[in-house]
Amino acid sequence: MKRLLALPLLSLSLSLHAAIPAAPTLEASSYALLDYDSGELLAASNPDQRVGPASITKVMTAYVVLEEIRQGRMKLEDTAFVSEKAWRQGIDSSESRMFVQVGTRVPLEALLHGVITQSGNDASVVLAEHVAGSEEAFAELMNQQAARIGMKNTHFANAPGMPDPQHYSTARDLTLLGRALIQSFPEQYKWFALPDYTYNGITQPNRNLLLKKDPSVDGIKTGHTSEAGYCLLASAQRDGRRLISAVMGTKSWAYREQASLELLNWGFRFFESAQLLGPTKPAGTVKVWKGAAGEVQVGTLKPVAITLPRGEAARVQASWQQEGEAIAPFAAGQKLGTLTLTLDGKLLRTEPLVALQDVGKGGFWRRLIDTIRLWFA
């Protein structure tokens, strides 16, 4: 059974839209621009090229620690011991240190601020050793989380982001990391917008100067090594819509900010996103057999986000195909068919069509009558 819905949808496929200006030409080794809601790349250049992530690595370092806290294996108020190795990592990194003192204990919350705002290499190693016993073991946790997030071309070898042949990521993967961070830890993500942080009597500013240049920017992290160049993973939110950009391998700190802002401005100007369907926006109803209810609403349990050029006419068609009969009992979320989005006959995407409510087993007579009817259906 195939049904067509008249929904105000627009196309995801950029090649099907009316022409829009090309993305900015950036002097960077690679870049990617991601729509937060839909997860679609709006623009990219060499998005899967392996590059050194430099201190953007610390986003994953913070992510792993926050996940350990969420799982109840530690608390923000716990303290971590500063080893000589961690302390020396700070001494050897004059511009990227929290100034922790060897032999002391520092609260995890302070260390996270030291990683996020102060970009402390020393703080990163303290956290790694506290969580996993060694930086090498911590890197394994980082890679496990990277795989779970879907970072297919990423491998971490250390917590601060020091150059290493086995330490690499891509512009696309880093935007996925930024998205996962914001989705998983919305409260702690606010720390990435703090203008400065003071520890041990030393106040250091956030290196992400876009925070001052554009009030819509609220993160995420800068990075720089001689091998990686100047890099910036940024995110901004305007009118309830969020974009995430990763600009890698530029020649100066000033240009990485200019390039990131050009990319974000272009994405906000020429694209928009819409939240469609979801548990409160059913696609329709299907007949239920042998159930306590005669029909059930169908749709998607989560909103379907779609990204589109701004101002494009609503020409997308949504249709759904029921797969077999809906025979009770079944629970909300059970797949009953497939939802298809098309534009001018071209497939854009498909989504599972599921029951939006539980339907219990009907009474004896209802089941008997429907059994007979199904023989002739």
Annotated binding site for substrate: 221
Burial (CB count within 10 angstroms: exposed 0-12, middle 13-18, buried 19+), residue 297: middle
327 neighbors 290 (Cβ within 8 angstroms): yes
Per DSSP, what are the bridge partners of residue 335?
A: 354
| Integer Cα distance of 249 and 204 in angstroms | 24
Q: Which of 55, 93, 124, 273 is catalytic?
A: 55
From the list 58, 96, 124, 260, the catalytic residue is 58
Q: Is 58 a catalytic residue?
A: yes
Strands 30-35 and 304-309: unpaired
- Tell me how far apart the alpha carbons of residues 257 and 255 are, in angstroms, rounded to a whole number: 5
* C-alpha span between 244 and 41 (Å, rounded): 9
Q: Residue 300, exposed/middle/buried by CB under 10 A (0-12, 13-18, 19+)? A: buried
Closest by CA position to 27, among listed 225, 220, 260: 260
Radius of gyration of the chain (CA): 25
Enter the tokens of residue 282. Answer: 């059913």
346 is catalytic: no
- From the candidates 38, 83, 119, 124, give the one annotated as an active-site residue: 119
Residue ranges for the known binding site are 221
Any residues with CB less than 8 A from the CB of 48 and at least 6 apart, and which? 153, 170, 171, 172
| 53: amino acid identity, one letter | P
334-372 CB burial, b ≥16 within 10 A, e <16: eebbebbbbbeeeebeebebbbbbbbeebeeebbeebee
DSSP string, 214-245: -TTEEEEEEEEETTTEEEEEEEEEETTEEEEE
Catalytic, 55? Answer yes
Q: Which of the residues are catalytic?
A: 55, 58, 119
